[in-house]
Structure formats: structure tokens, C-alpha cells
Structure 1
Amino acid sequence: MRVAVCGTHRAGKSTLIDELSDLLPAYVTVDEPYHQLEEEGYAFAETPSVEDFEAQLARSIADLDGGPGDVLFDRCPVDFLGYLLAHEDRDAFDLDAWLPRVRGALRKLDLIVLVGIERPDRIALSASDDGALRLAVDEKLKELLLDDSYAFGVEVLEVEGATRARAKQVLEHLPEASR
């Protein structure tokens, strides 16, 4: 199975990926595009720009082009659509130009696990975290994935609770052969 864990920043995605990696040792884990690009020397703006998110979107699409097998992806193209559609310069982003590529890439996933912001919020934010952007992206991701506003047609599992409970929800959703 090819599973992507999706959500806004500071929602618990990477923590869930770490837990799932321990529970599913046969799965390959693909780090999020931000870290991949950073390791390659990409210079992100201090406040991420539309171009920064487009670079991550392109990398996320490329990551999904890999061959078959059991894979856990930390983020997927929808994450970056959420950020781009919530960005203050969103008018500079040409969604229609990207949608065919995003739809094609998402067809290569079996499941998207959505880690949303819970009420009350489980994550303590630091002063440097952009809480307003975090909430806006969370709302946009729920619209994109749960409402399927752009007809992506991918299966989505929204998880909640502590990390162990979230991992259990994912495991229960996977076919027996994939565990």
C-alpha cells in the first residue's frame, strides 16, 4: 500500500509517521519534500513564498512517481495545495495548471491519512508558529480531502486522538496483507 500522511504544520504528522514506521517495518518511509529540498541546498524564504510551496508540490508529485511497494509518505501534493490556497499571495498560484498533475499523482496513492487540528488542540504552539495560517491550512485540507472539492477521488482516513490511537486507526484501515 502507498499511504500519505497529510496535515497542516504542527498537527502530529511526522510523529505519526515515526510510529507507523515502527509498527510497519516493511514499509519504506519518504521524508517530506521540505526536508528533501533543504538537504539538496534549496534556499527557502524566511516566510515561505508561493514559489517555495510550488517547489515542494513538484517534489511531492515526483515522489509519488516511484515504483510499487509499501510506502509511507510524509505529506502529499494536497498538503501543498492547502498551503498555496491559504497563502496571502494565492492569486499568484495557477491552480488550474497544477490540477491535472496533482490528480495523476494522487491516483498512485491507496490512502491519505488526514491529521487535523483537534479541539482542544493537542499541540502546543511556540510564538514563532503561525497559528492563523495553521488553522487556514487545516480548514483548506479538510475541504480538499473530506469534501473532495476537486474530485481527487482518493480514499481518505481522518484520524484523531493520541499518537498510538491514530496509528491504531491507520492499522485497522490497512488490509491484513499490508501490515
Structure 2
Amino acid sequence: MFIFSCLWLKNINGMRIAILGTHKVGKTTLAEKLHETLPDYEFYSEPYFELQEMGFDFSETPTADDYIIQLEHSLKQIVRSNKNAIFDRCPIDLLAYALAVDDKLNFSSIFNKIQNAIKEIDVFVFVPIEQPDRILCSDSDLPELRSEVNDVIRELIDDFDLEVIEVRGSLSERLNQVQNKIEH
């Protein structure tokens, strides 16, 4: 096992890995577990939490502007990161949230920034909502928004022509899927 881990770590040296997905799918748990296996990597938590720690006050009901602010912060995270980084969210899923709450949103002003930033990401890991759903989503967790964002992320993956690792199953199964895909 130790030899396998060392070989795996050697194989993924110098990568930027972005975990994307809607809320309540296990995205953060996977990102944190991946970081445990790659302790030399920088871990960038969700822009929402970083901005909140810096004193930013988000709306009670999320707005497109809230998500655009997080998207801009996500772009900054990518720019300031080194080649060994794990991102718990990226501009793609934040754009999906903004579009889900405002389908008339004009994001042309930041399109090139998004396009340039995502070119810096080496691996995209998409954690979709599974059927049956693995995580209970109460009404306070905005299940309709969650479902809409999941669909918009799929569309954006196609629109931006991203190659993604789509993971399913338990945490260990998801981690193995990421490891296996990166190895090969």
C-alpha cells in the first residue's frame, strides 16, 4: 500500500485539481480526503467560506451577484495558486449557481477570465447528484436550486468542452476513481 501511495503521489505532482458540483453531494468531503492523500498540495476552500471569514455578508437568499462575487474570488484563487493545488469549487460551478438564480445573467464580461482560468486547471472532478440521492436535502438546503445547478454544471461542462472525471459511489470509491483516472 505504501509503495502504491508513493507512486500515485509521484504521478500527480504538479497538478491543479478542481472539485465541482452542487451543494450536498459530498464535494467538500472528497476534496478534503484528496488533500489528506496529497498533503503537499495547497487546499483552497469554497470562496463563500473564505469571503465570509474576511467579513463579507451574503444575502439571506442567494443572488446572482453573490455568486459572481464568489466566482471572482475563485478566479483569484486560481491565479495565486501554485501547481500543487486542490480547489473545493471553481468558476464553473459558481457560474452555474449564478445562472440558476438568474437565467438572464449576462456573463460576457467575465467569460474570457473564466476561460483563461480554467485552462490552468489540470483535472476537473465532477460530483453529480446520484440516483438514488446519497445525501438528504431538506427544504432549507434549497433542493430545487441544487437540482438546477447540477443540470447547469453539466451544460457548462459541455459548453466549455471540459474533460472531467465524474465520480459516484462511496467516498472511498470516489477517491479511487480520481486516483485511477489520474494514474492513467
TM-score using structure 2 length = 0.88
SS of the residue aligned with 1:174?
Answer: helix
Find the counterpart in structure 2 of residue 99 from structure 1: 111
Find the counterpart in structure 2 of residue 158 from structure 1: 166
Find the counterpart in structure 2 of residue 131 from structure 1: 143
Residues 14 and 67 (structure 1), Cα distance of their counterparts in 2 relative to 1, 3 Å cut: closer
Contact 1:31/1:73 (<8 A) preserved: yes
Find the counterpart in structure 2 of residue 10 from structure 1: 24
Could you tell me which runs of 5 or more consecutive residues in structure 1 were left unpaired when the two chains were aligned. Answer: none
Contact 2:75/2:117 (<8 A) preserved: yes
Aligned-partner Cα distance in 2 for 1:154–1:7: 14
Give the fraction of aligned pairs with identical amino acids, expressed as a percent: 39
SS of the residue aligned with 1:79?
Answer: helix
Residues 6-59 of structure 1: CA distance to partner in whole angstroms, max 9, x if unpaired?
000111110101211112222211111000100000000000111111100100
Aligned-partner Cα distance in 1 for 2:81–2:138: 39
- The residue identity in structure 2 corresponding to 1:94 is N
- The residue identity in structure 2 corresponding to 1:166 is R
After TM superposition, give the deviation of residue 81 of structure 1 in Å: 1.1
Find the counterpart in structure 1 of residue 93 from structure 2: 79
Find the counterpart in structure 2 of residue 54 from structure 1: 68
SS of the residue aligned with 2:62?
Answer: coil
Residues 66-115 of structure 1: CA distance to partner in whole angstroms, max 9, x if unpaired?
2432111000000111111111x332x22222211100000110011000
Q: Does 1:20 align with 2:28?
A: no
Contact 1:116/1:160 (<8 A) preserved: yes
SS of the residue aligned with 1:11?
Answer: coil
Could you tell me which runs of 5 or more consecutive residues in structure 2 were left unpaired when the two chains were aligned. Answer: 1-14
Find the counterpart in structure 2 of residue 32 from structure 1: 46
Aligned-partner Cα distance in 1 for 2:81–2:114: 17
Find the counterpart in structure 2 of residue 66 from structure 1: 80
Aligned-partner Cα distance in 2 for 1:49–1:90: 12
Residues 136 and 174 (structure 1), Cα distance of their counterparts in 2 relative to 1, 3 Å cut: same
Aligned-partner Cα distance in 2 for 1:67–1:80: 18
- The residue identity in structure 1 corresponding to 2:33 is E
Contact 2:19/2:127 (<8 A) preserved: yes
SS of the residue aligned with 1:112?
Answer: strand
Contact 1:2/1:70 (<8 A) preserved: yes
CA-based RMSD: 1.3
